Amino acid sequence: MFEGALDNLGSLKQQYGLGKSATEVVLVIEAYKALRDRAPYPPSHMVAHLNGSFSFIVFDNSTSTLFVASDQVGKVPLYWGITADGHVAFADNVDLLKGACGKSLASFPQGCFFSTAVGELTSYENPKNKITAVPAEDEEMWGATYKVT
């Protein structure tokens, strides 16, 4: 899944050797695969090169891992939560997750990525900084917000 637009799509197509007709979806998948296969570069390294408004989810069939990211401003909504049976769920429409995730539902934090291979949320601008979940205090709010410290 890819939602949004990349401002630097043209230069990234050249960088990754993609044709002119390649879309943002193709670019994200190919960049992810190229960096995954080109050790020691982690696939998360490519997120820092993306300029624009976006959120995306990549399922890596070869490793059975999920890689999720959102732009630094959070213009393109992405939500996540824990289902009743303990699975992490993602959607770009909050209504799709409300019933399944209840109070664990939250906006995916801007400027961050999550990988099931690593098992944690990471800021791609400041990867060494810690991300802390701050529970919502308002009863009308659900989930948490996140702070990079």
148: β partners: 131
Mean pLDDT score across all residues of the chain: 88
Which SS3 state, helix, strand or coil, does residue 132 take? Answer: strand
- Residue with more model confidence, 34 or 146: 34
- Residue with more model confidence, 18 or 143: 18
Q: Which two tokens stand for residue 117?
A: 């291979």
106 phi and psi, to 5 degrees? Answer: -150, 160
Cα gap 85→69, rounded to integer Å = 24
* Other Cβ atoms closer than 10 A to 91: 20
Cα gap 81→95, rounded to integer Å = 12
Boundaries of domain holding 77: 2-148
Task: List, for residues 39-77, the tens digit of each pLDDT value.
Answer: 767 767 889 899 999 999 999 999 899 999 999 998 999
Q: What is the mean pLDDT of residues 22-40?
A: 90
On the question of pLDDT at 109 being above 80, the answer is yes
pLDDT given at position 149 = 67
Residue 118 sits in a domain whose CATH number is 3.60.20.10
* Other Cβ atoms closer than 10 A to 76: 19
Q: CB of 100 within 8 A of CB of 108?
A: no
Question: Model pTM?
Answer: 0.86
Q: Based on the structure, what is the number of domains in the chain?
A: 1
